[in-house]
Amino acid sequence: MSLRIVRKASQTQNPKQLSSIFFSKITRSLSRLSSQSKPSSSFGIAFDIDGVVSRSDVPIGGSPQAFRRLYDDSGHLRIPYVFLTNGGGFPESKRARELSELLGVKVSPAQVLQAHTPFKQLVSKFENELIVAVGKGEPAAVMSHYGFRNVVSIDDYAACFENIDPLAPHKRWTMKQVGNPNSAIRDLVRTERVQAAFVLSDSVDWSRDIQVLCDILRTGGLPGQEIGHQPQLYFAHDDLAYQAAFPSERFGLGAFRIALESIFNRIHPHALEYTTFGKPNSFVFKNAELVLKQLVSSVHDNAQVANHEIAGSHHFKTLYMVGDNPLVDIKGARQAGHPWFSILTRTGVFKGKENHDEFPADLVVDTVEEAVDYVLKKESIS
C-alpha cells in the first residue's frame, strides 16, 4: 500500500484470537494458587506498575501493604487481579519474580500482562524468519521465550556490520563492546533479510538504533543495499512519556517512534508503516478481562477443570483499572467501557489536585493503597 498506514493493533487483531494464546499457559501457571481460598468473582482489578506500584523498582504509595490485602492470611489469592503494564523488556516469569519480591506476595507469570505479551501471537507468522528485537532489558530472550527461533538483538545485529554506527568510537560511556554475536548469528545476518523488527521497550542508544532500524527498514532488511520493500515494524506501545525516578516525566517508546518515523519519512519515498500495541488500545483491556475470568475460574475450580467455557460464561460486575497516566490508563479504561471503572493515582504522571480535564477518571486517589481500600470497601470485603 502506498498510503501512510499507521495500524493500531486494535484495528487489525481479533481480541478473541489475541486472548486465546494466553489460555494454554494460564491454567498451568495458576495451578499453584490455592483452591481453598475462593476469590471474589464479581469484580477484578488491573494495576499499572510504573508510577502506581513502583518507581524505578522502589515500592510507592503503600503498595506492599495494599497487595497483602488481596491475599488471605495463608498467602492465598482472594481477589482476582492482574498487572497491566506498558513496561517490558523481560520475560513475564522474571517480572513476576521481581514483583513477588517487591511486594512480598506471590505473583504468577499469568498475572503479568506486558505491552509485548501479545507479540506471542505473531510467532506463527515469523517463527523461522530473521527478526530483530530492540529495547532495554533482554528483548531477544523475551522473543525466544515466546517461540521465535531466529531472533537477534539489535546489539548483536549492529555488531555484525562494521562501521554501521560511526559514533560508536565516541561513545565513551560504553566501557565494553556492546553486542557479541557468534559466528552462526553473523552468517545468518549477512545472508538473510530481516522480515520484521520488534521494539519491545525503550531504546538504550537512540542514535544507533534509529540509524540501524532505518538501514533495515529502507533496504528490505539488509543494511547497505539498495532501497527495498519495508519489513514489518511493531512497537509494544506508544507512550510518549512515563514517570521514573526523576521529578518530571521521561521520554518513552512513543517519543522514540516519533523520532524514527520523522527521520525515515525524510529519507524514504514511502511513509513508515508500523503497528502499535499496548494501552490504551481497547483489545488490551478486553484481554485483561479474559485473563481475569480465567484467573477466577482456575482458582475456583482447583485449576484442573478450568477451561474456556467457564471463563467465557463468567461476567464481572466491575473491573477496576488503577493507573497514573490519564492518556494511557484512564483513556483506555474509558474506551473499553463497561464493566471498567477507572481509578487515577497521584503517584506518577498525574499530579493534579482535581481530575484530569480531557480524560477524567471515575475516581482520583493519592495512592494505590487508597485505591485498594476504596475497592474493598465498595465490594464489602474487609
For the beta carbon of residue 330, count every other beta carbon within 10 angstroms.
28
Write down the H helix ranges in the chain. Answer: 9-12, 15-30, 63-68, 92-103, 123-126, 139-146, 154-159, 183-191, 206-218, 253-267, 282-300, 308-313, 331-336, 368-378
| 144: nearest Cα among 198, 193, 194 | 198
Dihedral sign from CA coordinates of 221, 141, 251, 109: positive
Which x/- pattern, by CB under 5 A, does the window 116-135 give for Mg ion?
--------------------
Compare residues 31 and 335 and give the one whose CB is closer to Mg ion. 335
> Measured between alpha carbons, how far is 52 from 234 in angstroms, rounded to an integer?
26
Per CB under 5 A, does 80 bind Mg ion? no
Q: Of the listed pieces 95-103, 112-120, 323-331, 363-371, which binds Mg ion according to CB under 5 A?
A: 323-331
Per CB under 5 A, does 289 bind Mg ion? no
CB of 329 vs Mg ion, minimal distance in Å: 7
Compare residues 153 and 201 and give the one whose CB is closer to Mg ion. 201
Per CB under 5 A, does 238 bind Mg ion? no
Q: Of the listed pieces 51-59, 150-158, 215-223, 331-339, which binds Mg ion according to CB under 5 A?
A: 51-59
Which residues lie closer than 8 Å to 186 by C-beta, 6 or more apart? 160
Which H/E stretch holds residue 341?
Answer: strand 340-344
Among 18, 29, 45, 48, binds Mg ion (CB under 5 A): 48
Coil, helix or strand at residue 264: helix
Which x/- pattern, by CB under 5 A, does the window 328-367 give for Mg ion?
--------------------x-------------------
Residue 99, C-alpha cell as written in the block: 514483583
Per CB under 5 A, does 324 bind Mg ion? yes
Per CB under 5 A, does 215 bind Mg ion? no
Residues at the site binding Mg ion, with contacts judged by CB under 5 A: 48, 50-51, 324-325, 348
